Structure 1
């Protein structure tokens, strides 16, 4: 998925906002889900951001890419949330053993393992990895979205990947890769 998938809206009418939500809402929800790893939190993030955007949609629609602006707001909301719901995030118990022969089961196990690793990261590091690997954004765009420098993006990504490697080695999974 790419941020190049955007909807052009030229006015700030309520119908335009409704069209935007109907047309791009599922993509925004998927984005928030990948970012948060929790379906309910993703719904909360998108709902919170869209509620704020609705009040000032007339200002958002004059921007070059309203969807990029909304995605930025979702990322910032996710990184800054200090809600009690964030305490619910927990790394799951053990990672299931890969099934060797059963390829679909191995893919599910690998995906579960990735979710566990991502859940163990601080929100800012998780946001950098999602923007880099899921949204396929370059460091300069990630830095602009997060309001930080490119060197911060690179260091956050390096720390996140190093932490994930450490967590894997602590579990006895993988190598020194």
Structure 2
């Protein structure tokens, strides 16, 4: 199998997983562009990708690096979805969906490296060492990035809960 054929086979087989990771890292509106850009970069370096001990890890690294470089050039925030007054309603599936959406909105507001650590750790279920390999840093850096991200998410959650309970909204 030549390089073009092996790339085509890889891209076809891995597209769903790459797209899901792109959605989690960049959001639905930017996921297609990110995933396609990553595949383009992977194609250009296909001989190195195939020579890597884990082509999937190599491609994940391309994706995270692409996201970080894009976001550092184009600082932009997302508006938080507000749920209004939660305390007046009975807990329901809809509340769970709103909380899930609010959590992901907060995750998207994290700095790209922290967001990558959270997604790779809790969604991709990678070890700290594997995340360190993807990010090109020490496992201790992964731990500190995860701790900072979780602290930010907890603070955001506590603030959102306080605002929702008092009838406030987010900007």
Q: TM-score, normalised by structure 1?
A: 0.80
Alignment of 1:10-89 (within 5 A): 11-36=1-26, 38-81=27-70, 82-84=72-74, 86-87=75-76, 89=77
Q: Match of 2:137?
A: 148
For residues 93 and 113 of structure 1, the distance between their equivalents in structure 2, rounded to whole angstroms, comes to: 6
For residues 22 and 93 of structure 1, the distance between their equivalents in structure 2, rounded to whole angstroms, comes to: 34
Q: With CA pairs under 8 Å and 6+ residues apart, which has the higher RCO, 1 or 2?
A: 2
Structure 1 residues 148, 91: closer, same or farther in 2, change over 3 A?
A: same
Let me know the Cα RMSD of the aligned residues.
2.1
Q: Match of 1:3?
A: none
Correspondence 1:94 to 2:82? yes
The answer to whether the 8 Å contact 1:76/1:146 transfers is yes
Runs of 4+ off more than 6 Å? none
For residues 93 and 24 of structure 1, the distance between their equivalents in structure 2, rounded to whole angstroms, comes to: 31
For residues 152 and 12 of structure 1, the distance between their equivalents in structure 2, rounded to whole angstroms, comes to: 39
Where does the alignment leave 5 or more consecutive residues of structure 1 unmatched?
1-10
User: Which of 114, 119, 137 is equivalent to 2:103?
Assistant: 114
For residues 39 and 20 of structure 1, the distance between their equivalents in structure 2, rounded to whole angstroms, comes to: 22
The answer to whether the 8 Å contact 2:114/2:145 transfers is yes
Higher helix share: 2
Q: What is the number of residues matched between the two proteins?
A: 160
Q: TM-score, normalised by structure 2?
A: 0.83
